Amino acid sequence: MSAKRTSKTVLLAAPRGFCAGVDRAIQIVEKSIAKYGAPVYVRHEIVHNRHVVDRLVGMGAVFVEELEDCPDDRPVVFSAHGVPKSVPAAAQAREMNYLDATCPLVSKVHVEAEKHAAAGHHILLIGHEGHPEVVGTMGQLPVGRMSLIETEEDAHKFTAEDPENLALVTQTTLSVDDTSAMIDILKTRFPNIALPYKEDICYATTNRQMAVKAIAERCDLLLVIGSQTSSNSKRLVEVGDKAGADNAMLISSADSINWDIVDQAKVIGLSAGASAPEYLTDGVLAALKSKYEIDMQEVEVTKEKVIFRLPRKLLDVA
């Protein structure tokens, strides 16, 4: 007679996984390959997830870090994170066929920054140094027109040449709570700072963080599926930790689960970053069900219906 299996509750956060911007970016690569044939070059990882990248490589995508690594006669796709203005300018100078997969919400931040600069403001960007989205946003303007604020300490220490002429934008994939704290400091120090018309942090980042907050207090263990290079996935772990999860961990897939830790947990929360495909969540659930009796409860905080249009030159691809 087989031993009785341990029972565990799994709280499945919703929304989770792919957002509209990631879905659009991946479709741009897929449809470019379908229209132009392989290889199609992609500057930087299209999204920060190795599983997604490896699948696209299998279809004929070639991932490179710089435009110089691309031949003139093949299409090139710019990643969802956005690129400095110098990149499309260089592609145009070489008469390359390029497709911009920048998330429209990142493009919105680029437009905001340019409008503030045109109004004579010095711009503060809340974000993480070296992240491709931050590199792309800072690259919309000449060097010196934008200053990066990474921490609350930075917000306290920043000195302005003209305190009355400041504007603020943010990276789209940050922690809502951490960003709010930095914004509050800057607003207190510079009451006339021009704020975003609408929150720059994207709807998908906000929704995934809300869903994690909704389950965190009940979790002995919160598992977030995502890449170590994915900003929004790492923020979900931090949000879950602060919201009361006893333990919160980032995993890349079912293969990276620490079963000794899972064994000790009675209630397990599960979410996935905006660049993690749903089949990775399915794989983690299947792995859990193979070892335990699972009572699964989906906790949905909102429904997402956002869809972003593809570039015009790909609309004829089935």
pLDDT for res 1: 42
Distance CA 88, CA 73 (A): 15
In the chain, the N- to C-terminal Cα span, in Å, equals 54
Any residues with CB less than 8 A from the CB of 19 and at least 6 apart, and which?
202, 203, 204, 205, 274, 304, 306
Domains detected in the chain = 7-18+203-300 (3.40.1010.20), 20-103 (3.40.50.11270), 120-189 (3.40.1010.20)
pLDDT for res 8: 97
Q: What is the pLDDT of residues 220-239, one digit of tens each?
A: 999 999 999 999 999 999 99
Q: What is the pLDDT of residues 142-191, one digit of tens each?
A: 999 999 999 999 999 999 999 999 999 999 988 888 899 999 999 999 99
pLDDT for res 78: 97
pLDDT for res 318: 80
Helix 20-36 vs helix 104-118: angle between axes, to the nearest 10 degrees?
A: 110
> Annotated catalytic sites, by residue?
133
Distance CA 71, CA 85 (A): 20
pLDDT by residue for the chain (318 residues), tens only, comes to 456 789 999 999 999 999 999 999 999 999 999 999 999 999 999 998 999 999 999 999 999 999 999 999 999 999 999 999 999 999 999 999 999 999 999 999 999 999 999 999 999 999 999 999 999 999 999 999 999 999 999 999 999 999 999 999 999 988 888 899 999 999 999 999 999 877 778 999 999 999 999 999 999 999 999 999 999 999 999 999 999 999 999 999 999 999 999 999 999 999 999 999 999 999 999 999 999 999 999 999 999 999 999 999 999 998
pLDDT for res 192: 96
pLDDT for res 175: 86
